Structure 1
Protein backbone atom coordinates (compact mmCIF):
# COMPACT_ATOMS: atom_id res chain seq x y z
CA UNK A 1 0.00 0.00 0.00
CA UNK A 2 1.14 3.53 -0.78
CA UNK A 3 2.74 5.64 1.92
CA UNK A 4 1.02 8.81 0.72
CA UNK A 5 -1.70 10.04 3.03
CA UNK A 6 -3.24 13.40 3.82
CA UNK A 7 -4.38 13.43 7.45
CA UNK A 8 -7.21 15.96 7.88
CA UNK A 9 -8.28 17.38 11.23
CA UNK A 10 -11.64 17.97 12.91
CA UNK A 11 -14.17 19.41 10.42
CA UNK A 12 -17.27 20.02 12.56
CA UNK A 13 -19.67 20.66 9.71
CA UNK A 14 -17.56 23.15 7.74
CA UNK A 15 -18.09 21.63 4.30
CA UNK A 16 -16.96 24.64 2.25
CA UNK A 17 -13.64 24.73 4.05
CA UNK A 18 -13.24 20.95 3.60
CA UNK A 19 -13.87 21.24 -0.14
CA UNK A 20 -11.39 24.11 -0.40
CA UNK A 21 -8.73 22.11 1.42
CA UNK A 22 -9.30 18.97 -0.67
CA UNK A 23 -9.06 20.99 -3.88
CA UNK A 24 -5.93 22.75 -2.63
CA UNK A 25 -4.40 19.31 -2.05
CA UNK A 26 -5.22 18.22 -5.60
CA UNK A 27 -8.38 16.16 -4.97
CA UNK A 28 -11.15 16.37 -7.53
CA UNK A 29 -14.85 15.64 -7.33
CA UNK A 30 -15.68 11.95 -7.69
CA UNK A 31 -19.33 11.10 -7.19
CA UNK A 32 -20.34 12.49 -3.79
CA UNK A 33 -16.74 12.52 -2.59
CA UNK A 34 -13.29 13.53 -3.81
CA UNK A 35 -10.41 11.52 -5.26
CA UNK A 36 -6.67 12.00 -5.83
CA UNK A 37 -4.71 10.11 -8.46
CA UNK A 38 -2.15 8.69 -6.01
CA UNK A 39 -3.04 9.81 -2.48
CA UNK A 40 -5.68 9.02 0.15
CA UNK A 41 -7.15 10.99 3.03
CA UNK A 42 -7.28 9.87 6.64
CA UNK A 43 -9.92 11.76 8.62
CA UNK A 44 -9.31 12.07 12.38
CA UNK A 45 -13.03 12.29 13.23
CA UNK A 46 -15.38 14.97 14.58
CA UNK A 47 -17.42 15.46 11.43
CA UNK A 48 -20.55 16.67 13.23
CA UNK A 49 -21.79 19.44 15.58
CA UNK A 50 -21.15 23.19 15.55
CA UNK A 51 -20.78 23.95 11.82
CA UNK A 52 -23.29 25.03 9.14
CA UNK A 53 -23.16 22.08 6.71
CA UNK A 54 -22.93 18.90 8.79
CA UNK A 55 -24.87 16.70 6.37
CA UNK A 56 -22.58 17.62 3.50
CA UNK A 57 -19.46 16.88 5.52
CA UNK A 58 -20.77 13.44 6.49
CA UNK A 59 -21.78 12.78 2.87
CA UNK A 60 -18.34 13.69 1.50
CA UNK A 61 -16.37 11.79 4.13
CA UNK A 62 -18.56 8.70 3.94
CA UNK A 63 -18.47 8.65 0.14
CA UNK A 64 -14.68 8.86 0.18
CA UNK A 65 -14.36 6.06 2.74
CA UNK A 66 -16.78 3.81 0.89
CA UNK A 67 -14.98 4.48 -2.42
CA UNK A 68 -11.65 3.65 -0.70
CA UNK A 69 -10.38 7.16 -1.35
CA UNK A 70 -10.14 7.75 2.40
CA UNK A 71 -9.96 6.13 5.82
CA UNK A 72 -11.51 7.57 8.97
CA UNK A 73 -11.40 7.09 12.74
CA UNK A 74 -14.17 7.94 15.16
CA UNK A 75 -14.09 11.24 17.03
CA UNK A 76 -15.60 11.88 20.43
CA UNK A 77 -18.49 13.75 18.76
CA UNK A 78 -19.42 10.66 16.71
CA UNK A 79 -19.21 8.52 19.85
CA UNK A 80 -21.30 11.08 21.74
CA UNK A 81 -23.92 11.06 18.96
CA UNK A 82 -24.21 7.28 19.14
CA UNK A 83 -24.68 7.39 22.90
CA UNK A 84 -27.08 10.37 22.70
CA UNK A 85 -29.40 8.50 20.33
CA UNK A 86 -29.24 5.05 21.97
CA UNK A 87 -31.94 4.51 24.64
CA UNK A 88 -31.10 2.62 27.80
CA UNK A 89 -32.99 -0.70 27.59
CA UNK A 90 -35.88 -0.91 30.01
CA UNK A 91 -35.55 2.71 31.17
CA UNK A 92 -38.19 4.95 29.67
CA UNK A 93 -36.86 8.31 28.52
CA UNK A 94 -33.22 7.56 29.45
CA UNK A 95 -30.33 7.59 26.99
CA UNK A 96 -26.71 6.52 27.29
CA UNK A 97 -25.72 10.18 26.83
CA UNK A 98 -28.19 12.22 28.90
CA UNK A 99 -30.25 14.86 27.06
CA UNK A 100 -29.02 17.56 29.43
CA UNK A 101 -28.90 21.24 28.51
CA UNK A 102 -25.11 20.99 28.08
CA UNK A 103 -25.28 17.93 25.82
CA UNK A 104 -28.19 19.32 23.81
CA UNK A 105 -26.30 22.57 23.23
CA UNK A 106 -23.24 20.69 21.95
CA UNK A 107 -25.32 18.52 19.60
CA UNK A 108 -27.98 21.08 18.59
CA UNK A 109 -26.55 22.03 15.18
CA UNK A 110 -26.65 18.38 14.14
CA UNK A 111 -30.22 17.95 15.42
CA UNK A 112 -31.28 21.08 13.54
CA UNK A 113 -29.64 20.20 10.22
CA UNK A 114 -30.28 16.47 9.80
CA UNK A 115 -33.68 14.85 9.45
CA UNK A 116 -34.39 11.88 11.73
CA UNK A 117 -33.71 9.53 8.81
CA UNK A 118 -30.46 11.25 7.87
CA UNK A 119 -29.34 11.21 11.48
CA UNK A 120 -30.12 7.51 11.90
CA UNK A 121 -28.22 6.75 8.69
CA UNK A 122 -25.22 8.80 9.83
CA UNK A 123 -25.13 7.08 13.21
CA UNK A 124 -25.24 3.67 11.53
CA UNK A 125 -22.12 4.72 9.62
CA UNK A 126 -20.42 6.13 12.72
CA UNK A 127 -20.77 2.71 14.37
CA UNK A 128 -18.61 1.17 11.62
CA UNK A 129 -15.67 3.53 12.23
CA UNK A 130 -12.59 2.24 14.05
CA UNK A 131 -11.30 4.09 17.11
CA UNK A 132 -7.74 3.83 15.79
CA UNK A 133 -5.86 2.98 12.61
CA UNK A 134 -2.35 1.57 12.23
CA UNK A 135 -1.26 1.27 8.62
CA UNK A 136 2.01 1.29 6.62
CA UNK A 137 4.12 3.18 9.15
CA UNK A 138 1.67 5.56 10.83
CA UNK A 139 -1.00 5.54 13.52
CA UNK A 140 -4.13 7.68 13.74
CA UNK A 141 -6.53 8.15 16.66
CA UNK A 142 -8.77 11.04 17.53
CA UNK A 143 -7.11 12.22 20.76
CA UNK A 144 -4.25 9.94 21.82
CA UNK A 145 -2.55 6.64 21.16
CA UNK A 146 -2.80 4.43 24.22
CA UNK A 147 -2.14 0.87 23.09
CA UNK A 148 -3.69 -0.89 26.08
CA UNK A 149 -6.83 1.24 25.87
CA UNK A 150 -7.22 0.73 22.12
CA UNK A 151 -6.89 -3.03 22.63
CA UNK A 152 -9.48 -2.92 25.43
CA UNK A 153 -11.96 -1.02 23.25
CA UNK A 154 -11.48 -3.38 20.31
CA UNK A 155 -11.87 -6.45 22.54
CA UNK A 156 -15.11 -5.06 23.98
CA UNK A 157 -16.44 -4.21 20.51
CA UNK A 158 -15.72 -7.76 19.38
CA UNK A 159 -17.47 -9.24 22.43
CA UNK A 160 -20.48 -6.93 22.77
CA UNK A 161 -20.96 -5.76 19.17
CA UNK A 162 -20.10 -2.43 17.61
CA UNK A 163 -21.44 0.28 19.91
CA UNK A 164 -24.44 -1.80 20.92
CA UNK A 165 -26.38 -1.05 24.11
CA UNK A 166 -24.33 -3.80 25.76
CA UNK A 167 -21.10 -2.03 24.79
CA UNK A 168 -22.40 1.41 25.82
CA UNK A 169 -23.56 0.07 29.19
CA UNK A 170 -19.91 -0.67 29.93
CA UNK A 171 -18.32 2.31 28.17
CA UNK A 172 -20.67 4.82 29.84
CA UNK A 173 -20.18 3.34 33.32
CA UNK A 174 -18.13 6.18 34.83
CA UNK A 175 -14.81 4.96 36.18
CA UNK A 176 -14.93 1.54 34.52
CA UNK A 177 -11.88 0.32 32.61
CA UNK A 178 -13.73 0.66 29.31
CA UNK A 179 -14.99 4.14 30.18
CA UNK A 180 -11.44 5.21 30.99
CA UNK A 181 -10.21 3.72 27.71
CA UNK A 182 -12.83 5.62 25.68
CA UNK A 183 -11.99 8.83 27.52
CA UNK A 184 -8.25 8.43 26.89
CA UNK A 185 -8.43 7.51 23.19
CA UNK A 186 -11.32 9.74 22.05
CA UNK A 187 -10.95 12.69 24.46
CA UNK A 188 -7.34 12.50 25.63
CA UNK A 189 -5.71 11.57 28.95
CA UNK A 190 -6.38 14.13 31.67
CA UNK A 191 -5.02 14.98 35.09
CA UNK A 192 -7.19 16.20 37.93
CA UNK A 193 -5.98 19.52 39.33
CA UNK A 194 -5.66 20.19 43.05
CA UNK A 195 -8.71 21.40 44.97
CA UNK A 196 -9.47 25.04 44.28
CA UNK A 197 -8.09 25.01 40.73
CA UNK A 198 -10.16 24.84 37.55
CA UNK A 199 -10.21 26.08 33.96
CA UNK A 200 -12.86 27.24 31.49
CA UNK A 201 -12.25 25.35 28.26
CA UNK A 202 -12.78 26.53 24.67
CA UNK A 203 -16.37 25.29 24.73
CA UNK A 204 -17.08 27.46 27.79
CA UNK A 205 -17.24 24.54 30.26
CA UNK A 206 -15.60 24.76 33.68
CA UNK A 207 -13.35 21.77 34.25
CA UNK A 208 -11.32 20.50 37.18
CA UNK A 209 -8.99 18.50 34.95
CA UNK A 210 -6.60 19.28 32.11
CA UNK A 211 -5.63 17.38 28.95
CA UNK A 212 -1.96 16.49 28.96
CA UNK A 213 0.94 15.90 26.60
CA UNK A 214 0.70 12.11 26.59
CA UNK A 215 3.85 11.93 24.44
CA UNK A 216 6.06 13.54 27.13
CA UNK A 217 7.07 12.73 30.70
CA UNK A 218 5.33 15.24 32.96
CA UNK A 219 7.54 14.59 35.98
CA UNK A 220 8.59 17.87 37.56
CA UNK A 221 6.37 19.96 35.29
CA UNK A 222 3.42 22.18 36.11
CA UNK A 223 -0.08 21.63 34.79
CA UNK A 224 0.42 24.59 32.44
CA UNK A 225 3.65 23.14 31.04
CA UNK A 226 2.14 19.68 30.56
CA UNK A 227 -1.21 20.85 29.18
CA UNK A 228 -2.06 19.96 25.58
CA UNK A 229 -4.31 22.59 24.06
CA UNK A 230 -4.79 26.34 24.25
CA UNK A 231 -6.65 26.71 27.55
CA UNK A 232 -5.44 28.99 30.35
CA UNK A 233 -4.12 26.45 32.86
CA UNK A 234 -2.72 27.14 36.35
CA UNK A 235 1.06 27.07 36.77
CA UNK A 236 0.97 24.56 39.64
CA UNK A 237 3.33 21.57 39.91
CA UNK A 238 1.87 18.16 39.07
CA UNK A 239 1.73 15.48 41.75
CA UNK A 240 4.00 12.73 40.38
CA UNK A 241 1.68 9.89 41.44
CA UNK A 242 -1.02 11.25 39.12
CA UNK A 243 1.13 10.45 36.05
CA UNK A 244 1.24 6.69 36.59
CA UNK A 245 -1.89 5.88 34.60
CA UNK A 246 -0.68 7.36 31.30
CA UNK A 247 1.35 5.44 28.72
CA UNK A 248 3.89 7.91 27.32
CA UNK A 249 4.09 7.56 23.55
CA UNK A 250 7.64 6.31 22.77
CA UNK A 251 9.96 8.63 20.88
CA UNK A 252 11.06 5.71 18.67
CA UNK A 253 7.51 4.67 17.72
CA UNK A 254 6.01 5.28 14.29
CA UNK A 255 4.43 8.72 13.74
CA UNK A 256 0.99 9.22 15.25
CA UNK A 257 -1.60 11.77 14.15
CA UNK A 258 -4.48 13.11 16.23
CA UNK A 259 -7.05 15.91 16.22
CA UNK A 260 -9.26 17.13 19.07
CA UNK A 261 -7.16 19.73 20.88
CA UNK A 262 -8.32 23.12 19.52
CA UNK A 263 -4.78 24.27 18.78
CA UNK A 264 -4.10 27.78 17.48
CA UNK A 265 -1.29 29.52 15.61
CA UNK A 266 0.94 28.05 12.90
CA UNK A 267 0.75 24.23 12.65
CA UNK A 268 3.89 22.40 13.68
CA UNK A 269 4.64 18.88 15.01
CA UNK A 270 4.12 18.36 18.74
CA UNK A 271 7.11 16.01 18.78
CA UNK A 272 9.33 14.39 16.17
CA UNK A 273 6.74 11.61 15.75
CA UNK A 274 3.51 13.29 16.94
CA UNK A 275 1.27 15.74 15.07
CA UNK A 276 -2.13 17.29 15.76
CA UNK A 277 -4.28 18.46 12.85
CA UNK A 278 -7.04 20.19 14.84
CA UNK A 279 -6.56 23.96 14.60
CA UNK A 280 -9.99 25.15 15.70
CA UNK A 281 -11.91 25.37 12.41
CA UNK A 282 -15.15 25.64 14.43
CA UNK A 283 -13.80 28.65 16.34
CA UNK A 284 -12.60 30.73 13.40
CA UNK A 285 -9.31 28.90 12.96
CA UNK A 286 -7.96 26.61 10.23
CA UNK A 287 -8.82 23.26 8.70
CA UNK A 288 -5.45 21.52 8.57
CA UNK A 289 -3.96 18.56 6.74
CA UNK A 290 -0.57 16.92 7.11
CA UNK A 291 0.83 15.51 3.84
CA UNK A 292 2.67 12.37 4.87
CA UNK A 293 5.10 10.77 2.42
CA UNK A 294 6.48 7.95 4.58
CA UNK A 295 8.84 9.99 6.78
CA UNK A 296 9.52 8.87 10.37
CA UNK A 297 10.42 12.40 11.52
CA UNK A 298 7.59 14.85 10.97
CA UNK A 299 8.14 18.31 9.53
CA UNK A 300 6.31 21.64 9.84
CA UNK A 301 6.50 22.20 6.08
CA UNK A 302 4.19 19.23 5.48
CA UNK A 303 1.20 21.03 7.03
CA UNK A 304 -1.34 22.62 4.67
CA UNK A 305 -4.46 24.52 5.64
CA UNK A 306 -7.39 26.68 4.68
CA UNK A 307 -8.62 29.48 6.94
CA UNK A 308 -12.23 29.40 8.11
CA UNK A 309 -14.41 31.43 5.78
Structure 2
Protein backbone atom coordinates (compact mmCIF):
# COMPACT_ATOMS: atom_id res chain seq x y z
CA UNK A 1 0.00 0.00 0.00
CA UNK A 2 1.36 3.41 -0.97
CA UNK A 3 1.90 5.68 2.01
CA UNK A 4 -0.78 8.33 2.43
CA UNK A 5 0.07 11.82 3.69
CA UNK A 6 -0.80 12.83 7.24
CA UNK A 7 -4.15 14.57 7.36
CA UNK A 8 -6.87 15.84 9.65
CA UNK A 9 -9.48 13.53 11.04
CA UNK A 10 -12.92 13.83 9.45
CA UNK A 11 -14.53 17.10 10.49
CA UNK A 12 -15.85 17.35 14.03
CA UNK A 13 -13.85 14.46 15.53
CA UNK A 14 -10.69 14.49 17.63
CA UNK A 15 -8.93 12.77 20.49
CA UNK A 16 -6.70 13.83 23.36
CA UNK A 17 -3.54 15.60 22.17
CA UNK A 18 -0.25 13.88 23.06
CA UNK A 19 -2.02 10.51 23.23
CA UNK A 20 -1.38 8.51 20.08
CA UNK A 21 -3.42 5.51 19.01
CA UNK A 22 -1.91 2.96 16.65
CA UNK A 23 -4.78 0.91 15.25
CA UNK A 24 -4.15 -2.36 13.42
CA UNK A 25 -6.62 -4.08 11.08
CA UNK A 26 -7.54 -7.74 10.63
CA UNK A 27 -4.44 -9.96 11.06
CA UNK A 28 -5.89 -13.39 10.23
CA UNK A 29 -2.95 -15.53 11.24
CA UNK A 30 -0.29 -13.49 9.42
CA UNK A 31 2.38 -13.34 12.10
CA UNK A 32 4.91 -12.08 9.56
CA UNK A 33 2.85 -8.98 8.82
CA UNK A 34 2.07 -8.38 12.50
CA UNK A 35 5.77 -8.38 13.34
CA UNK A 36 6.48 -5.90 10.54
CA UNK A 37 3.68 -3.55 11.63
CA UNK A 38 4.84 -3.52 15.23
CA UNK A 39 8.40 -2.81 14.10
CA UNK A 40 7.01 0.17 12.16
CA UNK A 41 5.20 1.38 15.29
CA UNK A 42 8.40 1.13 17.33
CA UNK A 43 10.32 3.03 14.65
CA UNK A 44 7.65 5.73 14.48
CA UNK A 45 7.74 6.19 18.25
CA UNK A 46 11.51 6.63 18.17
CA UNK A 47 11.17 9.15 15.35
CA UNK A 48 8.18 10.97 16.87
CA UNK A 49 8.14 10.42 20.64
CA UNK A 50 4.88 11.10 22.45
CA UNK A 51 3.90 11.06 26.14
CA UNK A 52 1.68 7.99 25.73
CA UNK A 53 0.75 5.56 22.98
CA UNK A 54 -1.85 2.79 22.85
CA UNK A 55 -1.93 -0.04 20.31
CA UNK A 56 -5.48 -0.99 19.37
CA UNK A 57 -6.16 -4.23 17.51
CA UNK A 58 -9.52 -4.58 15.76
CA UNK A 59 -10.03 -8.34 15.96
CA UNK A 60 -9.85 -11.30 13.57
CA UNK A 61 -6.48 -12.42 14.86
CA UNK A 62 -7.12 -16.00 13.74
CA UNK A 63 -8.29 -18.09 10.74
CA UNK A 64 -7.35 -18.03 7.04
CA UNK A 65 -3.64 -17.31 7.57
CA UNK A 66 -1.20 -20.03 8.68
CA UNK A 67 -0.06 -18.93 12.16
CA UNK A 68 -3.06 -18.14 14.34
CA UNK A 69 -1.59 -19.75 17.47
CA UNK A 70 1.65 -17.79 17.08
CA UNK A 71 -0.28 -14.55 16.53
CA UNK A 72 -2.02 -14.93 19.89
CA UNK A 73 1.30 -15.80 21.56
CA UNK A 74 2.85 -12.67 20.05
CA UNK A 75 -0.02 -10.45 21.19
CA UNK A 76 0.21 -11.82 24.73
CA UNK A 77 3.91 -10.91 24.84
CA UNK A 78 3.17 -7.49 23.34
CA UNK A 79 0.59 -6.87 26.05
CA UNK A 80 3.22 -7.34 28.76
CA UNK A 81 5.34 -4.43 27.52
CA UNK A 82 2.88 -1.98 25.92
CA UNK A 83 -0.47 -0.29 26.45
CA UNK A 84 -2.78 -2.41 24.33
CA UNK A 85 -6.47 -2.82 23.55
CA UNK A 86 -7.77 -6.00 21.91
CA UNK A 87 -11.20 -5.87 20.28
CA UNK A 88 -13.28 -8.97 19.59
CA UNK A 89 -13.66 -10.04 15.95
CA UNK A 90 -16.26 -12.39 14.56
CA UNK A 91 -13.63 -15.06 13.86
CA UNK A 92 -12.61 -15.25 17.52
CA UNK A 93 -16.17 -16.25 18.43
CA UNK A 94 -15.81 -19.52 16.49
CA UNK A 95 -13.00 -20.85 18.69
CA UNK A 96 -14.86 -20.76 21.99
CA UNK A 97 -18.20 -21.78 20.46
CA UNK A 98 -16.65 -24.84 18.80
CA UNK A 99 -15.44 -26.23 22.14
CA UNK A 100 -18.98 -26.20 23.55
CA UNK A 101 -20.81 -26.86 20.26
CA UNK A 102 -18.76 -29.23 18.06
CA UNK A 103 -21.46 -29.22 15.37
CA UNK A 104 -20.34 -25.70 14.42
CA UNK A 105 -17.15 -27.15 12.90
CA UNK A 106 -18.35 -27.15 9.26
CA UNK A 107 -19.32 -23.47 9.49
CA UNK A 108 -15.97 -22.60 11.06
CA UNK A 109 -14.03 -24.52 8.43
CA UNK A 110 -15.81 -22.58 5.69
CA UNK A 111 -14.33 -19.31 6.99
CA UNK A 112 -10.75 -20.43 7.58
CA UNK A 113 -10.93 -22.48 10.76
CA UNK A 114 -8.84 -25.31 9.36
CA UNK A 115 -5.74 -23.10 9.34
CA UNK A 116 -6.32 -22.24 12.99
CA UNK A 117 -6.79 -25.87 14.03
CA UNK A 118 -3.65 -26.89 12.14
CA UNK A 119 -1.67 -24.16 13.91
CA UNK A 120 -2.63 -25.87 17.19
CA UNK A 121 -1.58 -29.29 15.85
CA UNK A 122 -5.04 -30.57 14.91
CA UNK A 123 -5.91 -31.75 11.39
CA UNK A 124 -9.64 -32.19 10.79
CA UNK A 125 -10.66 -34.86 8.26
CA UNK A 126 -12.78 -34.04 5.24
CA UNK A 127 -16.51 -34.39 5.88
CA UNK A 128 -16.02 -34.86 9.62
CA UNK A 129 -18.71 -37.02 11.18
CA UNK A 130 -20.55 -36.07 14.35
CA UNK A 131 -18.16 -38.30 16.30
CA UNK A 132 -15.19 -36.63 14.58
CA UNK A 133 -16.53 -33.20 15.49
CA UNK A 134 -16.85 -34.11 19.17
CA UNK A 135 -13.38 -35.66 19.21
CA UNK A 136 -11.82 -32.63 17.52
CA UNK A 137 -13.53 -30.22 19.92
CA UNK A 138 -12.11 -32.17 22.87
CA UNK A 139 -8.65 -32.21 21.27
CA UNK A 140 -8.81 -28.50 20.59
CA UNK A 141 -9.89 -27.74 24.17
CA UNK A 142 -6.86 -29.71 25.33
CA UNK A 143 -4.47 -28.04 22.88
CA UNK A 144 -5.64 -24.47 23.58
CA UNK A 145 -3.39 -23.00 26.30
CA UNK A 146 -5.16 -21.46 29.29
CA UNK A 147 -3.55 -18.11 28.46
CA UNK A 148 -5.04 -18.22 24.96
CA UNK A 149 -8.50 -19.08 26.27
CA UNK A 150 -8.24 -16.21 28.76
CA UNK A 151 -7.19 -13.87 25.94
CA UNK A 152 -10.21 -14.87 23.87
CA UNK A 153 -12.61 -14.52 26.79
CA UNK A 154 -11.49 -10.99 27.71
CA UNK A 155 -11.53 -9.43 24.25
CA UNK A 156 -13.50 -6.18 24.27
CA UNK A 157 -16.67 -5.82 22.18
CA UNK A 158 -15.54 -2.26 21.38
CA UNK A 159 -13.39 0.56 22.73
CA UNK A 160 -14.51 4.20 22.95
CA UNK A 161 -12.26 7.14 23.79
CA UNK A 162 -13.04 10.83 23.30
CA UNK A 163 -14.40 11.20 19.77
CA UNK A 164 -13.26 7.74 18.64
CA UNK A 165 -15.08 4.39 18.59
CA UNK A 166 -12.97 1.34 17.76
CA UNK A 167 -14.87 -1.79 16.74
CA UNK A 168 -14.41 -4.83 14.54
CA UNK A 169 -17.32 -4.71 12.09
CA UNK A 170 -19.32 -1.53 12.72
CA UNK A 171 -22.47 -0.31 14.43
CA UNK A 172 -26.21 -0.35 13.82
CA UNK A 173 -27.42 3.09 12.61
CA UNK A 174 -30.09 4.64 14.82
CA UNK A 175 -28.93 2.79 17.94
CA UNK A 176 -26.83 4.67 20.55
CA UNK A 177 -23.25 3.44 20.62
CA UNK A 178 -23.65 2.40 24.24
CA UNK A 179 -26.56 0.11 23.32
CA UNK A 180 -25.11 -1.77 20.33
CA UNK A 181 -25.56 -5.54 20.21
CA UNK A 182 -22.54 -7.82 20.23
CA UNK A 183 -23.74 -9.41 16.99
CA UNK A 184 -23.71 -6.07 15.17
CA UNK A 185 -20.35 -5.02 16.61
CA UNK A 186 -18.80 -8.25 15.30
CA UNK A 187 -20.78 -8.97 12.14
CA UNK A 188 -22.68 -6.01 10.64
CA UNK A 189 -21.95 -4.97 7.06
CA UNK A 190 -24.34 -3.36 4.59
CA UNK A 191 -26.63 -1.44 6.96
CA UNK A 192 -23.54 0.14 8.50
CA UNK A 193 -21.45 0.58 5.36
CA UNK A 194 -24.27 2.25 3.42
CA UNK A 195 -25.07 4.73 6.21
CA UNK A 196 -23.75 8.20 5.38
CA UNK A 197 -24.79 10.20 8.43
CA UNK A 198 -22.29 10.81 11.24
CA UNK A 199 -22.40 8.76 14.41
CA UNK A 200 -21.80 10.00 17.95
CA UNK A 201 -18.11 9.22 17.45
CA UNK A 202 -15.85 8.47 14.51
CA UNK A 203 -16.05 4.71 13.94
CA UNK A 204 -12.73 2.99 13.21
CA UNK A 205 -13.31 -0.57 12.01
CA UNK A 206 -12.22 -3.55 9.93
CA UNK A 207 -14.16 -6.71 8.93
CA UNK A 208 -14.94 -5.76 5.32
CA UNK A 209 -11.81 -5.92 3.14
CA UNK A 210 -10.97 -2.90 0.99
CA UNK A 211 -8.07 -2.36 -1.40
CA UNK A 212 -6.87 0.76 0.45
CA UNK A 213 -8.08 2.35 3.70
CA UNK A 214 -11.57 3.78 3.22
CA UNK A 215 -11.89 7.19 4.88
CA UNK A 216 -15.45 8.52 5.17
CA UNK A 217 -16.91 11.45 7.14
CA UNK A 218 -18.38 9.00 9.69
CA UNK A 219 -15.98 6.03 9.65
CA UNK A 220 -12.57 4.67 8.64
CA UNK A 221 -12.16 1.09 7.40
CA UNK A 222 -8.63 -0.31 7.75
CA UNK A 223 -9.16 -3.97 6.81
CA UNK A 224 -6.99 -4.32 3.72
CA UNK A 225 -7.32 -8.13 3.48
CA UNK A 226 -3.92 -8.91 4.99
CA UNK A 227 -4.14 -12.70 4.75
CA UNK A 228 -4.59 -12.51 0.95
CA UNK A 229 -2.95 -9.21 -0.03
CA UNK A 230 0.03 -9.07 2.33
CA UNK A 231 -1.08 -5.57 3.37
CA UNK A 232 -1.74 -5.17 7.10
CA UNK A 233 -2.77 -1.57 7.75
CA UNK A 234 -1.86 0.52 10.78
CA UNK A 235 -3.64 3.85 11.32
CA UNK A 236 -2.32 6.35 13.84
CA UNK A 237 -4.48 9.05 15.42
CA UNK A 238 -3.28 11.86 17.68
CA UNK A 239 -5.42 14.86 18.53
CA UNK A 240 -7.14 15.83 15.29
CA UNK A 241 -4.45 14.33 13.04
CA UNK A 242 -4.17 10.90 11.45
CA UNK A 243 -1.90 8.97 9.12
CA UNK A 244 -0.80 5.48 8.08
CA UNK A 245 2.46 3.64 8.68
TM exceeds 0.5? yes
CA shift at 1:152, angstroms? 5.2
Which residue does 1:292 correspond to in 2?
Answer: 237
Give the conservation status (yes or no) of the 8 Å contact 1:149–1:185. no
Q: CA deviation at 1:68?
A: 4.7
Deviations 1:72-124 (A, max 9, x none): 1100001122212223xxxxxx55xx222x42242111111115445253233
Structure 2 CA distance for partners of 1:58 and 1:256, relative to 1, 3 Å: same
1:257 pairs, out of 193, 204, 214, with 204
**Contact 1:259–1:278 at 8 Å: present in 2 too?**
yes
Structure 2 counterpart of 1:13, from 25, 29, 48: 29
User: Given the alignment of the two structures, is residue 78 of structure 1 paired with residue 92 of structure 2, yes or no?
Assistant: yes
> What is the CA-CA distance between 1:10 and the residue it aligns to?
0.3
Q: Which residue of 2 aligns with 1:281?
A: 226
2:128 corresponds to 1:114 = no
In structure 2, the residue matched to 1:163 is none
Does the 8 Å contact 1:76/1:186 carry over to 2? yes
The 1-side partners of 2:229 and 2:105 are apart by 27
Structure 2 matches for 1:202-217, cutoff 5 A?
A: 212-216=192-196
1:140 paired residue number: 166
Cα deviation for residue 41 of structure 1 reads 0.7
1:25 to 41, 46, 59: 41
SS in 2 for 1:124: helix
| Residue 12 of structure 1, CA deviation | 0.6
Cα root mean square deviation, aligned: 2.8
| Partner Cα separation in structure 1 for residue 28 and residue 159 of structure 2 | 21
Q: Name the SS for the 2:234 alignment partner.
A: strand
Pairing 1:128–2:74 present: no
Listed one character per residue, the Cα deviations across residues 167-202 of structure 1 (whole Å, up to 9, x for unaligned) are xxxxxxxxxxxxxx33321111446xxxxxxxxxxx
Residue 104 in structure 1 maps to residue 99 in structure 2: no
What secondary structure sits across from 1:50 in the alignment?
coil
SS of equivalent residue, structure 2 residue 204: strand
Query: Alignment length, in residue pairs?
Result: 202
Q: 1 or 2, which has the higher helix percentage?
A: 2
SS at the partner of 1:286? coil
C-alpha separation in 1, matches of 2:66 and 2:80: 24
Counterpart of 2:182 in structure 1 is 182
Structure 1 position 292, deviation (Å)? 0.5
Would the aligned equivalents of 1:40 and 1:70 in 2 still touch at CA under 8 Å?
yes
SS of the residue corresponding to residue 261 of structure 1 reads coil
Pick the aligned partner of 2:59 from 45, 60, 74.
45
What per-residue deviation string (whole Å, max 9, x for no partner) do you get for residues 26-47 of structure 1? 269xxxxxxx984221000000
Query: What TM-score do you get using the length of structure 1 for normalisation?
Result: 0.58
Q: Distance in 2 between matches of 1:44 and 1:19?
A: 16
| Structure 1 gap ranges (5+) | 29-35, 88-93, 154-180, 192-211, 217-247, 305-309
Which structure exhibits the higher relative contact order, with contacts defined as CA atoms closer than 8 Å and separated by 6 or more residues? Answer: 2
Q: What pairs up with 1:233-244 in 2 under 5 angstroms?
A: none
In structure 2, the gaps of 5 or more residues are 1-15, 45-49, 122-139
